[in-house]
Amino acid sequence: TSYDYVVVGGGTAGLTVANRLSEDKHLTVAVIEAGFNAEGLQEVFVPGLIGTGISFSTLNWAYATVPQANLNGRVLTVNAGKALGGSTIINSMIFPRAEKEQYDAWGELNNDNTWTWSALLPFFKKSELFTPPNKFQTESGVRFLASVHGFAGRVKVGFPNFFFEQSALWRKAAEGLGFPASPDLANGDPHAVGIAPNSLDAANNTRCSAACAYYTPFQDRPNLVVITNATVSRILWNNNSASGKLTASAVEYLIKNETWTVGVSKEVVLSAGTVGSPKVLELSGVGNSTILKAAGVKPVLNLPTVGENFADHVHSWANAFTKITLTKDALLLNPEFASAQLALWFKNRTGLYSAAPRSLSIAAPSDVFTPSQLNTLIAQAEANLTHFASQFANGNPALAKGIAAQHSIALSLYKRNKELPLEMNAEPGYSGPTAFGARPARNYTAINSVLYAPLSRGRTHIVSSNPLTPPAVDPAYWAHPLDIAAQVGGIKLARRMLVAPPLDSIYAGEFEPGTDKRTDADIEEWLRGVVASDNHEVGSLSMMPQSLGGVVDTSLRVYGTANVRVADASIIPFPISAHLSSTVYMIGERAADIIRGGRA
């Protein structure tokens, strides 16, 4: 069999592209997905069951990193969904957007004004089916701007039916510390505090994943075929291409141990995610020839930056005991209460399980550093710019220029107080590194502090020609001093928040990092032992000019190939100040529009 388009990976962007291409009845589209359709599992569709059941065990690639040199040699886990719908099956459903300036910087890096906030906003809207807040939600603090949302798209976006009291106290505390109240965290100006929209079907309070949005309602389309439980091993190439460029002719995949192939008459779209997509390219012979040969793969096209420029957000926390008893901890502390709440959710879609997180704020440098600290940090980063850019580029001179260009943009945004280094979000219950049984059995308030603008860059590469062998993922966390300073600053800001009025009214003492961690050095040392991936990996097949070490052009086509494009988080050139899924849907919409010649 042969299809016009074969999409590798039925995740966030993959299903978006497949859906939009198959709107044209004359096109045939196949999606090949390693996981299964998990839409019917309650741990998937009930918002408050995020992370429970088999979410994190089975529906998860759980990529292990190589030991992290700057984090005491620890091996961390980068989670990524393995199911139809990809990471939107297991993610936290938080659905804001990054700041305008960062999308504009994609255009600046690529000298292409079709990749800017204003050019991309229509594609954000196209993906979205937004339900405005009802009276209860508005009274509970939800605010929104109709002008930035889409009302006829596919991904259902709305707000939960339950709001924790401590989250409201935290939002007021953040406002007291100078964060503006956000009119809408998807408006491109997220230096503010507010309640983020969720990828949630407001009509019945269920998760809306990429499968819910772009597959389930369209599964009867005769020209759309989805093959699940099928792991793509490689792209097969046509030897005598007229264009002189590498041309995909088929895609090979494994079901159990059996090998299958499917023909491609137009294009392959790689949507296997930031770790999965470079893996498939490398297994297909496209990448750094030295790395491929070492893994036992015959090089077909030397494109040395495949898998490089990898970056991820870094998660940390500060938490305190709280006087409030209606927290997420109550569900763990009291199983009977938890059963009653779950029954309540099934009965009328309310209660603690109806709430996906979360109230959040995005901090600017001025919230984290004093002016003199910031000046010193920026001066040091500028002085060492070429040093770090070439260190992170793994010996590739073009990529060194690309990373230097990314760092210059980030630092100039830092100077204008426009780079947003940290997300601070309030967790109405424990969030931190200590397991349930190992911490005091109490109620908590936690502030997650997530490094959003890391300058560190790492890589992901295959180590074997066996498609079932996981790649070596090296995010190189904390390889840049500004990243460390920002993350330490985030913990100090989280501590200030925990005791700021009116949140101080429920404060019952700090648990973590703990009052013995007093100096910056104490905090830094503690963080090295506990920080985690925020599962927001980007950049491994970056959209940048080839002269800057990019892998895809602004049509998302892999350099040197005639008919292979990439649509997923791997094309995002540098980390952005938001949870990623809304941006990845936008990329999927844009990719389909480009493929259909802007006629969609």
| Partners of 287 in beta bridges | 302
**Helix (H/G/I), strand (E/B), else coil: 469:** coil
Please tell me the distance from the alpha carbon of residue 174 to that of residue 140, in angstroms, as a whole number: 16
313 is known as an active-site residue:
no
Please tell me the distance from the alpha carbon of residue 333 to that of residue 339, in angstroms, as a whole number: 12
What sign results for the dihedral spanned by CA atoms 398, 422, 459, 475?
positive
Please tell me the distance from the alpha carbon of residue 21 to that of residue 375, in angstroms, as a whole number: 49
- Closer by beta carbon to ligand FAD, 31 or else 246: 31
Please tell me the distance from the alpha carbon of residue 542 to that of residue 307, in angstroms, as a whole number: 9
CA 529 to chain centre: 23
Are 427 and 358 in contact by the 8 Å Cβ rule? The answer is yes
- Closer by beta carbon to ligand FAD, 62 or else 332: 62
Secondary structure element (H or E) that encloses residue 382, with its range: helix 371-383
Q: Summarize as ranges the residues that interact with ligand FAD (CB under 6 A).
A: 8-14, 32-35, 79-82, 86-88, 90-95, 231-232, 271-274, 276, 280, 535-536, 568-569, 579-582, 584
Binding site listing for FAD: 232
- Out of 149, 191, 407, 536, the active site residue is 536
How is the chain split among helix, strand and coil, in percent rounded to 5?
A: 35, 20, 40
536 is known as an active-site residue:
yes
Are 490 and 363 in contact by the 8 Å Cβ rule? The answer is yes
| Partners of 446 in beta bridges | 319, 427
The three state secondary structure string of 402-461 is HHHHHHHHHHHHHHCCCCCCEEEEEECCCCCCCCHHHCCCCCEEEEEEEECCCCCCEEEE
CA 304 to chain centre: 24
Which residues have a Cβ under 8 Å from the Cβ of 485 and sit 6 or more positions away?
A: 369, 373, 377
CB of 208 to ligand FAD, least distance (A): 12
Are 476 and 458 in contact by the 8 Å Cβ rule? The answer is yes
* Distance from the first to the final alpha carbon of the chain: 26
Exposed / middle / buried, residue 208 (Cβ in 10 Å: 0-12, 13-18, 19+): buried
At 510, the amino acid letter reads: E
- Out of 149, 315, 407, 579, the active site residue is 579
Q: Taking CB positions, which residue lies at the least distance from ligand FAD?
A: 11
Are 277 and 575 in contact by the 8 Å Cβ rule? The answer is no
| Catalytic sites, residue numbers | 536, 579
